[in-house]
Structure 1
Amino acid sequence: MARTIRTAAVIGSGIMGSGIAAHLANAGIKCLLLDIIPGKLTEKEQAAGLTLNDSRVRNRLAAAAMEKMKTTQPSPLYLDSFIERITPGNLEDHLDRLKDVDWIIEVVVENLQVKQQLLQKIESVWTPGTIVSTNTSGISVNAMAEQCGAEFKKHFLGTHFFNPPRYMQLLEIIPGRTTDPEIVSYMSDFCRKRLGKGVVLAKDTPNFIGNRIGIYGLLVTLQEMREKGCSVEEVDAVTGPAMGRPKSATFRTLDLVGIDTFVHVARNVHDHVDQAGEKAVFQVPETILEMVSRGWIGDKSGQGFYKKVKGADGNSILSLDLNTMEYSPQTKVSSASLEAAKLTKGAAEKTKALIYGGDRYSELAWSILKKVLVYSADKLGEIADSIADIDNAMKWGFNWELGPFETWDAIGLVKSVQRMEAEGLAVPQWVKDWIAAGNTSFYKRELGRTVHYLKGRYHGAEENPEVISLRDLKDRGRVVKSNSGGNLIDLGDEVVCLEFQSPNNAIGADILSMIRQSMDEVDKNYKGLVIANEGRNFSVGANLVFLLMEAQDEEWDEIEAMIHQFQQTLLKLKHFTKPVVVAPHRMTLGGGVEVCLAADQVHVSAETYMGLVEVGVGVIPGGGGCKEMALRMSRKIADPQIDLQPFMNQIFETIGMAKVSSSGHDAFRLGYLRETDKVAINRDHLIHEAKQAVLRMDNEGYVPPVNEKFRVVGEDGKAVMQLGAYSLRQSKFISDYDLHVANKLAHVLAGGDVPAGTLVTEQYMLDLEKEAFLSLCGEPKTQQRMQHMLTKGKPLRN
């Protein structure tokens, strides 16, 4: 049967329930958020004369969760207005509404009996065919539904989101024994496409995949820490980026998650596994239980493995000594192996440098890692059938850069197994059989794609036409042109993609050259151009290192030439004869935004943070950003009888305050995107969607935008903007130098010293931009700001 999920109900409005409801709203799904009815009035409710029968009391828990969404940072919503898609209610008054929704998700307390009772209540009003799922983090899906009817069980499964649901990519789907395979397939597809999730199929075993491997790794780390006499700081130095893991490493992660939560999840495995050795590993150490008994459960209690304290010299962070249970100042941790890992690029090389470094930290890393790798291999077939699902669960759910089997390949499968066996570690037989068959890795590249071990042979997943991999296309010889800044790659169907490949995708002369070469190639041989890449961020802006060096050497002609080249390249891109679609993701700053502003259309990832942030380094947008923002607003407010000033004030504030969107949707509010631009919730589909947009424009008979004059607010408008900046200075919100930069920005956005309503050209505005940019580059305080950003990674307020 054809199935569509347009409406949903989330039962349970705690952190996870409200977060899931928020993300469903992000995806355009109308959602009921239900919870139990409170048993007593609050003091505020009593003072207002309310009773337990009042709907405001009965819906209080869900309504309060929605209020909390509005202030939670980072926000669970792409846009604040999306909260209107959520309706609060309670399980008694609104239970019958469940029969009208397309998907019911229970997210109540992790207690089997409570969940069983709730499912029976849901089944009493359930419309046959409606999908019902549980967000349990580890309770058996089959046990939960064992008292339900056969038809209900066919439509019931686990959908385990990771917290926070908007930001964590992992979604574990856990079928029950009798779940209809078509439901599993549909939900996997729906959650990938509509919710943007990375889906893995898990088996109905304690803690499924991510938490089973992740909690094991944390417990092994605690065990090795105790045996080797290491401190909290030492363990975190080893188990963070040096090992391809997040900066939060082990103990900062536990503080963030909550040590009580960690204990609960660990106990769930301990209580439900039979093998004595595994049960022993999942026995939580007494020191951790002591921390919980004292209420030292991490960030939510103010202290855990780390504790922030205020002193005469400001805040400092202390670390816990697990032997004395006392806090003390942190000590700096360094060694040859840690330094080698820091100097090496990529998680694979870092991990190798660390574990083969030959010092005590190498030994700590190896002793932890070898056990996690063997455990992951031992659980293959029990918790999941695919090593790719296990690897992806750890990357998407725990932010590891490499999954266990990818890590094994990185450190050398054959070499590491020999070392493990020499040290008496029992390696699973299937791994030894795989090596004996002549294989030296679990993954390999084959015909331009990655294949991996699956049941004794290499297996490649079916290609999804909606997922375009630039890496695969490059391996297949589809590079048309290339230089140090980028590659022009044939996407098929007479569309090419320009991929940036400079460090941090910073825009410099090499990328600008590649943009011009790409236009020349497309003009002759292709229908249109996509600009996208697969880097961590789309682009952090212009090449600040080059700019600072030239400014310090007073090479003004070089800087002017660079700005001119940047402006003219993007101006040509904007008026190019073929359609251009840019597909940005994550950090898209400064020059990266200006590339987007020059495109016919932007297809942006939902998790994109766009901003013209140049004032943070003491300059203004110089590649056409000011011009394009002013032009767009002028054309939007086309009626000359409507005062343009209030709208230009908004742009002045957006650029002057270096505002960055909190999502792709939020970029519309800030004016970086237009109504014709699009948002993709699944980043993996972004390049495909951009390509389709190019083909649509070509098919419709593409006509490039004309070069028109547009009106500006002129010198009167400049005075208004400068007065606003002066007021901020008087209120001490900005510094004197901030005011100086703001005055330059106002001059450019206003169109200079011309009468209000004057019509100007794009080139005129670009010349104003260039003049202001150049003059600011010569200022010592701008150079100080650039230097500070390069060394500290954050703005200087001088």
Structure 2
Amino acid sequence: MARIKKAAVLGAGVMGAAIAGHLANVGIPTLLLDIVPRELTEKEKEKGLTLSDRVVRNRLAQAGKDRLFKEKPSPLFTKETAHLIQVGNMEDDFDKLAGVDWIIEVVVENLKIKQDLFARLEQVWKPGIIVSSNTSGISINQMVEGRSEEFKKHFMGTHFFNPPRYMKLLEIIPNASTDPAILDEMKAFAEEVLGKGVVICKDTPNFIANRIGTYGLQITLQAMEELGLGPDEVDAVTGRAMGRPKSATFRTLDLVGLDTFIHVANNVHDNVEDPEEKQAFVVSPILKKMVENKWLGEKSGQGFYKKVKTDAGKEILALDPKTMEYRPSKKLKARSLDQAKRAKSLPEQLQALVYADDAAGKLAWYITKKVLIYSANRLHEIADDIVSVDQAMKWGFNWELGPFEMWDAIGVEKSVARMREEGETIPKLVEDLLASGGKSFYKTDAGKRYAFYVGGKFSEVNEHDKAISLARLKEQGKLIKGNKGASLIDLGDDIACLEFHSPKQAIGADILNMINTAVKEVSANYRGLVISAEAPNFCVGANLMLMLMEAQDHNWPEIDLMVRQFQNAMGSLRYLDRPVVAAPYGMTLGGGVEVCLPCDRIQAAAETYMGLVEVGVGLIPGGGGNKEMLIRWTEGVDPNDRVALQPLVNHVFMAIGQAKVSTSGLEARKYKFLRSCDGITANRDHLIYDAKQVALGMAKAGYQPPQPVRIPVVGETGYNVLKLGAYGLLKSGYISEHDYKIACKLAYVLSGGDVPEGTLVTEQYLLDIEREAFLSLIGEPKTQARMQYMLAKGKPLRN
């Protein structure tokens, strides 16, 4: 891992540029090359440029890099990371490839072109340089036919999923000669540095995820036609209801591009020998017709869905497969869908759906049955074990459960009995499982997870040393204490972990009580505390519904008590006599940020979106967030130096007042949600491990808790500066009257209230005026309207 310090990407198309972008995200200088253009553009002609000018020769690579700044969601952690990408072309800069540690080929999906490129590359290649192809399905072995054994030893497929920054899966495909040690090195590098979930694949058409995923899409298309449904009706079943992304089937196809999907399907069709499997990958006439019409999906403006303007705004139309015309979207109405929504777990949800005798149930059963049977039949060909298949589908297609986990969820015995009744041939793998007395593909014993392997035995699932599962620890009896909102878990080595598991990890009485319990327990019996969770997001803030109900009942003493308890709990974290490390990830908003700020260290996931967003619901931070941000921004500043102090307070005012949210862990440093001493973990699965190591390191170094500080404030003079800025926004029409009222309250707190500029105030003083401002705002009818709207719509109301 240590020797991969510089990389090169050959091909600056959508994927090539995005891969270069992600390499830059993790701090790897990258050379991005593309071919030399053969013609000038009109703009180049107007500038008097020629084909020999460097700017022209690098045009395609530069265009790829420039595209990174425009795409949404952004391929870059921050715009500044792009400086690590150096552009060039494959004629003038080809010799530079000898100076990198890893070369990734991302050119057109054509075997001959790739073979020619690798033949040329070997002329400048030096032993030790790893070379890989990002192909989505071309044979890895065929690409390097005719290359030296030494080159082949360093060659493999590295199939990134799009977009590379956000998609966890990386399929690594060795060729017949790949050095096992180099394969292990690349796997470790991808997991540790790139933050990927790696699956080792066999050199088969479309590898694992696209092989099964494409089959599933093909089967869904067939089912839609046979059942006479529309894409919108199918998507109502094949999305969240089945534990899959909200984009379901046909919205996903529109995003991928129908022409791209056809290419992937044809690749399997043309390269498999089983006649039945060949038939399964024959492209639907509907898809062919759509591509002929250039209805390619999002990139062409229409596919299975089409967005049109109406008098009321915008409307999404859906394609009617029978008439090939667009009609208003509709959702499939079925009792099983309603039952699935009420289910308490995904297995219950799936069972309610696939065993139902209505349109949704029949569709879900048919798709599920076919995909499960196909996955089991192809297992020996595409992977070494069921775990690889399940991980590939979860990481590459964002399924909540992989095929074999899904089979367990709906019940192997029950589903197989129905399959037999319907005349299906049961795969040998499944027959072997049942013959051995097994009732599921996975089982847990003493907190260890076992999977059924080809050959009829269960083997322990090899977990990464850094992948700490809180759920598994609880199964092993490591729960110290817990309630409905949070748990305190023993991580080993005398480090405890406080886990939030309330709905959406919202902070309420249960979490605050467990924080206080954790502080006492860790102080008495442990060396340090980590705060994290395993839900999709770290914490979305305080329990908004509870606060709104109390406000509507005019129960001000109760709200005052809740805010005091929150502030006191955060203070107990700040001054605990053991190191406290927060490990946030995903959405870390409002109160979630306020939990992190008083901690001694933050070890954030690379994909962490932090922001004090309370103004969106008509409030300001109430759990000490204002105070903590002032401490961070004014640390070390002379309190009498107004020239230096006021701009820093302005930064805090703008970040909180505009509800700034970082787009990555790296960008969180820009707002000082993270400090320079805080760490960033690329692989979310390793986050708790890394946070634990930080806590251990601080404990071993003789940790001493911080002492209370006095904070310099800009006082009344600075308050007027902040207020004047807000007034300008009001008069310019950028903010409403109520926004202005919130801004003035925020300005009062951040300036320290009615004191002279340069005054050093205590933390408690700031907490008191923060709480007073919070209570005054929550009593405002317009604030309560904002809170109500956020709870109902999930987005802010501007009133």
Q: Which range, TM-score by smaller chain?
A: over 0.9
2:114 aligns with 115
**Structure-1 separation of matches of 2:448 and 2:357:** 35
1:632 aligns with 632
CA drift at 1:3: 5.9
**Residue 547 (1) aligns with residue 547 (2):** yes
Equivalent AA in structure 1 for residue 708 of structure 2: N
**Residue 269 (1) aligns with residue 265 (2):** no
**Residue 738 (1) aligns with residue 739 (2):** yes
Equivalent AA in structure 2 for residue 518 of structure 1: A
2:336 aligns with 337
**Residue 622 (1) aligns with residue 602 (2):** no
**Structure-1 separation of matches of 2:539 and 2:2:** 39
In the TM superposition, what are the counterparts of 1:306-705 in structure 2 within 5 Å?
A: 306-455=305-454, 456-638=456-638, 640-641=640-641, 642-705=643-706
What is the SS of the residue equivalent to 1:760? strand
**Structure-2 separation of matches of 1:541 and 1:15:** 36
Which range moved further: 457-466 or 555-564? 457-466
Equivalent AA in structure 2 for residue 776 of structure 1: L
2:140 aligns with 141
- Give a deviation string over 1:271-290, Cα, whole Å, max 9, x none: 11111111111000111111
Which range moved further: 728-737 or 509-518? 728-737
Equivalent AA in structure 2 for residue 653 of structure 1: M
1:156 aligns with 155
**Structure-2 separation of matches of 1:345 and 1:123:** 57
Q: Given that residues 537 and 587 in structure 1 are in contact (C-alpha distance below 8 angstroms), is that contact kept between their aligned partners in structure 2? A: yes
In the TM superposition, what are the counterparts of 1:46-57 in structure 2 within 5 Å?
A: 46-57=45-56
**Structure-1 separation of matches of 2:493 and 2:436:** 41
**Structure-2 separation of matches of 1:44 and 1:264:** 34
The change in CA–CA distance for 1:3 and 1:314 in structure 2 (over 3 A counts) is: closer
What is the SS of the residue equivalent to 1:377? helix
Unaligned runs of 5+ in 1: none
What is the SS of the residue equivalent to 2:720? helix
What is the SS of the residue equivalent to 1:570? helix
Equivalent AA in structure 2 for residue 644 of structure 1: L
- Give a deviation string over 1:700-735, Cα, whole Å, max 9, x none: 111111112121011111111111111112222211
Q: Given that residues 639 and 712 in structure 2 are in contact (C-alpha distance below 8 angstroms), is that contact kept between their aligned partners in structure 1? A: no
Q: Given that residues 488 and 497 in structure 1 are in contact (C-alpha distance below 8 angstroms), is that contact kept between their aligned partners in structure 2? A: yes
**Structure-2 separation of matches of 1:364 and 1:72:** 35
Which range moved further: 157-166 or 677-686? 677-686
1:305 aligns with 304
1:722 aligns with 723
**Structure-2 separation of matches of 1:274 and 1:592:** 54
Unaligned runs of 5+ in 2: none
The change in CA–CA distance for 1:710 and 1:3 in structure 2 (over 3 A counts) is: closer
CA drift at 1:434: 1.1
CA drift at 1:485: 1.7
- Give a deviation string over 1:576-633, Cα, whole Å, max 9, x none: 1111111011010111100100100000000000010001111100000011111222
CA drift at 1:344: 1.7
**Structure-2 separation of matches of 1:532 and 1:649:** 31
**Structure-1 separation of matches of 2:639 and 2:46:** 53
**Structure-2 separation of matches of 1:461 and 1:129:** 32
**Residue 711 (1) aligns with residue 707 (2):** no
1:74 aligns with 73
2:24 aligns with 25
Q: Given that residues 197 and 395 in structure 2 are in contact (C-alpha distance below 8 angstroms), is that contact kept between their aligned partners in structure 1? A: yes
Could you say what the CA RMSD is over the residues aligned between the two structures, in angstroms? 1.1
- Give a deviation string over 1:331-370, Cα, whole Å, max 9, x none: 2322100111112233322211111222121011101110
Q: How many residues align?
A: 797
Equivalent AA in structure 2 for residue 731 of structure 1: S
**Structure-1 separation of matches of 2:115 and 2:385:** 30
**Structure-1 separation of matches of 2:545 and 2:92:** 62
- Give a deviation string over 1:636-666, Cα, whole Å, max 9, x none: 4346334311111111111011111000011
1:59 aligns with 58
**Structure-1 separation of matches of 2:182 and 2:2:** 10
2:96 aligns with 97
Equivalent AA in structure 2 for residue 771 of structure 1: E
What is the SS of the residue equivalent to 2:247? coil
**Structure-2 separation of matches of 1:736 and 1:683:** 42
Equivalent AA in structure 1 for residue 147 of structure 2: C
**Structure-2 separation of matches of 1:604 and 1:342:** 33
- Give a deviation string over 1:101-146, Cα, whole Å, max 9, x none: 1000000001111111111111111001211000000000011111
CA drift at 1:69: 0.8
CA drift at 1:68: 1.3
1:183 aligns with 182
CA drift at 1:463: 4.4
**Structure-1 separation of matches of 2:347 and 2:106:** 37
**Structure-1 separation of matches of 2:407 and 2:424:** 15
Equivalent AA in structure 1 for residue 673 of structure 2: Y
Among all aligned residue pairs of Structure 1 and Structure 2, give the percentage whose two residues are the same amino acid: 58
What is the SS of the residue equivalent to 2:183? helix
**Structure-1 separation of matches of 2:18 and 2:521:** 46
What is the SS of the residue equivalent to 2:529? strand
The change in CA–CA distance for 1:209 and 1:770 in structure 2 (over 3 A counts) is: same
**Residue 751 (1) aligns with residue 718 (2):** no
The change in CA–CA distance for 1:465 and 1:281 in structure 2 (over 3 A counts) is: closer
- Give a deviation string over 1:168-205, Cα, whole Å, max 9, x none: 00000001111111111111111001100000011101
**Structure-1 separation of matches of 2:156 and 2:464:** 24
CA drift at 1:383: 0.6
What is the SS of the residue equivalent to 1:669? coil
Which range moved further: 451-460 or 576-585? 451-460
CA drift at 1:308: 0.4
- Give a deviation string over 1:380-410, Cα, whole Å, max 9, x none: 0101111111111111111111110010000
Which range moved further: 43-52 or 618-627? 43-52
2:223 aligns with 224
**Structure-2 separation of matches of 1:283 and 1:741:** 60
**Structure-1 separation of matches of 2:151 and 2:205:** 23
1:193 aligns with 192
Q: Given that residues 219 and 282 in structure 1 are in contact (C-alpha distance below 8 angstroms), is that contact kept between their aligned partners in structure 2? A: yes
Q: Given that residues 244 and 348 in structure 1 are in contact (C-alpha distance below 8 angstroms), is that contact kept between their aligned partners in structure 2? A: no
What is the SS of the residue equivalent to 2:635? helix
1:785 aligns with 786
Equivalent AA in structure 2 for residue 560 of structure 1: D
Q: Given that residues 639 and 713 in structure 2 are in contact (C-alpha distance below 8 angstroms), is that contact kept between their aligned partners in structure 1? A: no
**Structure-2 separation of matches of 1:307 and 1:440:** 45
**Structure-1 separation of matches of 2:391 and 2:474:** 23
1:206 aligns with 205
Q: Given that residues 317 and 326 in structure 2 are in contact (C-alpha distance below 8 angstroms), is that contact kept between their aligned partners in structure 1? A: yes
What is the SS of the residue equivalent to 2:674? coil
CA drift at 1:467: 2.1
The change in CA–CA distance for 1:324 and 1:636 in structure 2 (over 3 A counts) is: farther
What is the SS of the residue equivalent to 2:173? strand
Equivalent AA in structure 2 for residue 7 of structure 1: K
**Structure-2 separation of matches of 1:230 and 1:643:** 65
Equivalent AA in structure 2 for residue 783 of structure 1: Q
TM-score by length of 1: 0.99
What is the SS of the residue equivalent to 2:692? helix
Which range moved further: 678-687 or 457-466? 457-466
Equivalent AA in structure 2 for residue 780 of structure 1: P
TM-score by length of 2: 0.99
**Structure-1 separation of matches of 2:453 and 2:479:** 31
Equivalent AA in structure 2 for residue 350 of structure 1: Q
Equivalent AA in structure 1 for residue 646 of structure 2: Q
